[in-house]
Amino acid sequence: MKVAVTITLKKDVLDPQGKVVLHTLQNMGMKTLSNIRQGKYFEIEIEETNQEIVKKDVDSMCKKLLANLIIEDYKIDII
């Protein structure tokens, strides 16, 4: 089973990398652009067909390694 994990910074956490991308694109002429925030993305393949077990396993991976829960949120999607 294939799972997509999207990790984003929490709303109140500053994102200097996103700001650099934002200003660069604005300087390139994208006038309607108002905000960009950067995150991480993982595509995970698991040898398991039970959707509940997969979700539980991936949730545990996010908590233990992939996401920093103090500053980041994560979202798990079966794809």
Interface residues with its own copies (CB under 8 A)?
4, 6-8, 18, 21, 24-25, 28, 30, 32-48, 57, 60-61, 64-66
Structure tokens at 50: 């039970």
What lies within 8 Å, CB to CB, of 44 at 6+ separation is 2, 3, 4, 5, 58, 61
The nearer residue to its own copies, 45 or 52, going by C-beta atoms, is 45
CB of 6 to its own copies, least distance (A): 5
- Of 11 and 70, which CB lies nearer to its own copies in the complex structure? 11
For the chain, what's the residue count? 79
